Structure 1
Amino acid sequence: MKALLLYPRFPQSFWSYDRFMEIAGLKAAIPPLGIITVAALLPQDWDIRFYDRNVKVETEADWEWCDIVILSAMLVQKPDFHALIQKAVQLGKKVAVGGPYPTSVPQDALDSGAHYLILDEGEMTVPQFLTAIAQGESQGIFRSLEKPDVSLSPPPRFDLLQLDAYFMMAIQFSRGCPFNCEFCDIITLYGRKPRTKEPQQALAELQALYDLGWRGSLFIVDDNFIGNQRNVKRFLRELIPWMQEHNYPFTFMTEASVNLAEDDELLQMMGEAGFYAVFLGIETPDQDSLQVTRKMQNTRNPLIEACRKINDAGMLIYAGFILGFDGERTGAGERIQAFVEQTNIPQPMLGILQALPNTALWNRLQQEQRLVAGTGVTDVGDQNTLMNFVPTRPIAEIAKEYVEGFWTLYEPTNYLRRSFQQCLNITPPSGRKQMMQFTPGRGLRLVSQLIWHQGIRRPEIRGQFWRQLWAIARNKPQTLAMYLGLCAAGEHFWEYRALARQRITEQLGYDPTITPVVPEAQPTLVRL
């Protein structure tokens, strides 16, 4: 079998870092770990060609060559995903799809003409698909209620990647999350019992990347790295000596729940292992909204104190924030802005609440007949969308707080000041020369581009750039590479905030920040 594995393009989004990639001479932030793991599950006698279309596009010769096209996608990749299915069908090729998007909304892929839906987790459903192929079945939907033992998962096919095109590499240690946040689809997709790989299994993946020549940042893509704290400590106890023996070839970032700040031993071990950053799902400083959305782990201790502890442990904080919870009080956007300023989180991901299919939130809103068809990330496929349900306060008010909040948070002088202060707040672990690493050869290009764009070309931030750069180099040299990376990322966000404003304005029909709020027509409710 000749299989063409394709990973669809991402539109410009919060996480696409388009301008950063251009400045750094890169193509994409991280590789698609899911589809290269699927590649490892396919028979060894299959011929495989793989393209991450964010890095390099396949040729017409590749389309002619293949017997089957295999796609994996997230919701944000929706436009290119459907275009690829339709092209394959037009060319008479069989199409197999999987990943979070088709798993959540399988009918979309069927409507575009996909023949095989390999849903849920591939370790369980790829073998079903292969059996169907061997038996000559021309179509099928493959699902599994069982969750695989990830300690038996094969190592991803890192050899298929064009390593020098990415900002960071990626591995996965665990799947699932023990919490019960109403809006989250992770527990729907992967369950509430975190399953982990064995420490030696994860180290073997790191060794494979090391042997391929990778040096620099590495993202552990778990949705909650500390979901199983016992097993993550087992992993860290073996990771620390491995990193020491290999002279710290990688620096790590990951995602974790805020209760990370409650475990001093875990914080210390992550610092010793080389973690430089963590993404936290803070969502909102409003305690009543956290309770409504069942994010009780964020209510146990003061969130500002939790952020301080994580900085003290040597880690930069990225964080997600959401507007639009039921019962949310006016001014939620301003309170999020105030929290971000107090904690100096450089890159707050501010979003409008979406009801994702099959989540507890989706099911509740469906029962309440509050879901709205034709809007939201599920239908539109990008992040800058109004909610896909009728909220408990006016949509125009939420949109105004979102656009104003995003615009203010990513105003260049505000952004650079937070980036500077966050780096000063971090307490680097002893012996660490640099908290974050660039791949060899990227640093010089990045610095030269930054000097031009922020140190010369932009008079409104030129003085601030040079003052802060000098202060970081003098007072916290271990965070210099981290600070430069944040500065470069600013170029992306300063463009993206205008796009976010434009997209919301188009959906509302007016700019919520400058047009007087007028009585709005209620959206047509369609029971889904």
Structure 2
Amino acid sequence: MADIVIINPRFDISFWGLEHCMPLFGKRANLPVSCLALLAALVPDHHEVTLVDENVEDIDFDRLGRADLVCLTGMSIQGRRLMEILDEVKARGVPVVVGGPMATVEPESLEGAADVIFVGEADETWPQFLAEWEQGTHKTRYAQKDKSDMATLPLPRVDLLKADRYMFGSLQISRGCPFTCEFCDIIVTFGRRPRLKTSEMVIAELEAFERAGLKIIFVVDDNLIGNKKAIKEVLRDIIAWQQERAYPLTLFTEASLDLAEDEELMQLMGLANFQSVFIGIETPNEDSLKETKKLQNVRPNAGSLLERVHRIQDHGLDVWCGMIVGFDHDDPSIFDVMPKFLVDARISAALIGLLHAIPTTPLYDRLKEAGRLNDPDASDLYGTNVVPLGMSSETLRDGFIQVMQDCYAADAYFKRLDTQFFDNNFKFVMHQLPYWKGQRLAWMKRCVLNYVRFGAVAARLLSVVKDDALRARYKQQLTRVVRRRWREPHILFVYTIKVAMHYHYSALAHALAQVDEKTGAMPDAGRSFSRAKRRWRPPSPLRRRRRAAGRECG
């Protein structure tokens, strides 16, 4: 029996991490990367497996020194820390292997630093390596030939996670996306044919998270609705499971904007208790959308961008979105257009980033051929490796910072939030169902719990915020939601979470503005935020980083 330790390095502060408001919820991190529990499940039973997520616990390097094998998985945004851990483990003479997005996108950066490197999906190559390692015949590099059959994966070892330290669970239903967005590496890594787990597998994972005490689950698929016909069958089974148990879990996910074109799919997601969906809108500039081949967002017969966002919201799904500045068709006017679009769209949470060219993507190949990729030093200076076409690099960087300041100023943020929850009286599907007429006791328990949650988070928020003006604004917003929607405790709780989220976004936007006076470079916090949803930053001697949701292995 071997002692195997699997590690996920800590992330830098980012949009997704919600690090500034995690203490308000009594948690250490927002969610575990989904590959941790899956990697553990792929290890044969005769080995001992330990999971270490540095985002919720410190690494005991003396403990690692006693292990037989250490495995690291990480995204490029975690790269600097991943390399530090590699050095510490190797200094103790322990064999170390590395997989995940960073190893897939820039394997050359790990050569010589790790004993074994896994490129791409590793659901087959990780067990293969372990079998060969036991025999002393393993290779130094593994690249899985075929895409994994999702229906054959084992149940992730959720029991090995320190679940009480996370706010959300992370579950992956599918991999792959049918679209061809130029800047995205998903179709390169996972392919254009979406592959799904069976309903039985999904339900088993939901039950594992429920047993672990995690009641909010992020379905980390990059596009849950890539195969609409297949996901509808899974959603129907999730609905039946939720209603048998009085809706124990709240779900949220990522999907493409064509969700708005499928009435049945929106209804099924609401009935399954998906309450929020992150959508890659990217830009209100249709020429830029066409340029980057995001053609699913440019469908005149389906309605405008705003009409489709509102259609999704009208079906009880809260929309978060990703936005990008720096496309070839962007000029400085985009810095005024984007904040206005978000107001009109009633989207409070928008991940706004600089266009970044990820190796392996068509965008990277095109810009490399055109000589429009920054070197590492210039990338740190301007926040991106892309040399823009419609403006100078300085204008793009400064305009991006200004967009962040404009969008996450308290007045702008709460205007978007209040338009949604007060002016348009937004409601989630699950709380309006006739189903609850037969579940009176369960409904009452849910209401009481949400009142308690609202009070606890509101009290913590007002005690933690030290800025007098900001604390006064939060008190004003909380008072307003109580007056307007006090009969809906679930709305009180969700609204309070969104007020707390502003505390996080405001801190990030403030950090982003702290440009180095001598060099003009963005601070680390700014660069992490600007690419929080992107998958790569250019390698340099000291830095390599990226996002947190659930890329496999590893």
Q: Assess same fold via TM > 0.5.
A: yes
Q: What is the match of residue 86 of structure 1?
A: 87
| Alignment partner, residue 178 of structure 1 | 178
CA distance in 2, matches of 1:30, 1:471: 33
Q: Which moved more, 1:4-13 or 1:59-68?
A: 59-68
- Specify which structure has the bigger relative contact order, considering alpha-carbon pairs within 8 angstroms and separated by 6 or more residues: 2
Distance 1:471 1:333 in 2: 35
Distance 2:453 2:156 in 1: 25
CA contact (8 A) 1:124 1:147 kept: no
Aligned to 1:260, the other structure's residue is in SS state helix
| C-alpha deviation, 1:444, in angstroms | 4.7
Q: Contact 1:225–1:232 at 8 Å: present in 2 too?
A: yes
Quick one: structure 1 residues 255 and 505, their matched pair in 2 at CA, closer, same or farther if it must change by over 3 Å?
Answer: farther
What percentage of residue pairs aligned between the two structures are identical? 32
Tell me what 1:161 maps to. Answer: 161
2:278 counterpart letter in structure 1: F
Q: Deviations over 1:255-284 (max 9, x none)?
A: 000000000100011111101100000000
The answer on 1:408 being equivalent to 2:409 is: no
Question: Which moved further from structure 2: 131-140 or 322-331?
Answer: 131-140
Secondary structure at 2:52's aligned position in 1? strand
Aligned mates of 1:437, 1:504 — CA distance in 2: 49
* Amino acid across the alignment from 1:105: E
Match of 2:440? none
* Residue 68 (structure 2) aligns with: 67
Question: Which residue number in structure 2 is paired with residue 394 of structure 1?
Answer: 392
Q: State the 1:55 CA deviation.
A: 0.3
Match among 347, 350, 353 for residue 351 of structure 1: 353
Gaps of 5+ in 2: 437-442, 524-539, 541-554
Pairing of 1:284-303 with structure 2 (within 5 A): 284-300=283-299, 301-303=303-305
Taking a change above 3 Å as real, the CA distance of residues 436 and 315 of structure 1, as seen in their structure-2 partners, is farther
Aligned partner letter, 1:307: V
State the 1:409 CA deviation.
0.8
Q: Deviation per CA, 1:218-240, whole angstroms, max 9, x where unpaired?
A: 10000000000011100011111
Equivalent residue number for residue 141 of structure 2: 141
Work out whether 1:488 is the aligned partner of 2:485.
Answer: no
Amino acid at match of 2:90: V
Matches within 5 A, 1:419-498: 419-424=417-422, 425=424, 426-429=426-429, 430-431=432-433, 444-452=455-463, 457-458=468-469, 461=473, 464-474=476-486, 477-498=489-510
Contact 2:339 2:403 in 1 (8 A): yes
Q: Equivalences for 1:221-232 in 2 at 5 Å?
A: 221-232=220-231
Aligned to 2:213: 213
Distance 1:441 1:146, change over 3 A: farther
Equivalent pair of 1:175/1:190 in contact (CA under 8 Å):
yes
Aligned partners of 1:278 and 1:318 also within 8 Å: yes
How far 1:453 sits from its partner (Å)? 5.0
Distance 1:97 1:333 in 2: 40
Whole-angstrom distance in 2 between the partners of 1:138 and 1:438: 53
* Deviation digits for residues 77-122 of structure 1 (CA, Å, limit 9, x no counterpart): 11111111111111111111111111111111224x1011122112
Decide which moves more: 169-178 or 144-153.
Answer: 144-153
Equivalent position SS for 1:38: helix
Alpha-carbon distance in 1 for matches of 2:452, 2:419:
27
Matches within 5 A, 1:16-415: 16-111=17-112, 113-137=113-137, 139-214=139-214, 216-300=215-299, 301-375=303-377, 386-392=383-389, 393-415=391-413
Shift of 1:469: 2.2
Higher mean C-alpha deviation, range 327-336 or range 64-73:
327-336
Q: Which amino acid aligns with 2:331?
A: R
* Amino acid across the alignment from 1:490: H
Alpha carbons of structure 1 residues 509 and 356: separation in structure 2 relative to 1, 3 Å = closer
What TM-score, normalized by structure 1, do the two folds share?
0.90
- Unpaired runs of at least 5, structure 1: 512-525
Question: Is the Cα–Cα contact under 8 Å of residues 175 and 222 in structure 2 kept in the other structure?
Answer: yes
Cα distance in 2, alignment partners of residues 363 and 248 from structure 1: 47
Q: Evaluate the alpha carbon distance shift between residue 260 and residue 203 of structure 1 in structure 2; reply closer, same or farther with a 3 A threshold.
A: same
**Aligned-partner Cα distance in 2 for 1:438–1:368:** 57
1:489 positional shift: 1.1
Shift of 1:36: 1.7
Alpha-carbon distance change, 454 to 64 in structure 1, aligned in 2, over 3 angstroms: closer
CA deviations on 1:443-477 (whole Å, 9 max, x unpaired) are: 55312113435799436515632442224434754
- How far residue 70 of structure 1 moved from its aligned partner, in angstroms, is 0.4
Contact 1:331 1:401 in 2 (8 A): no
The aligned amino acid for 2:406 is: T
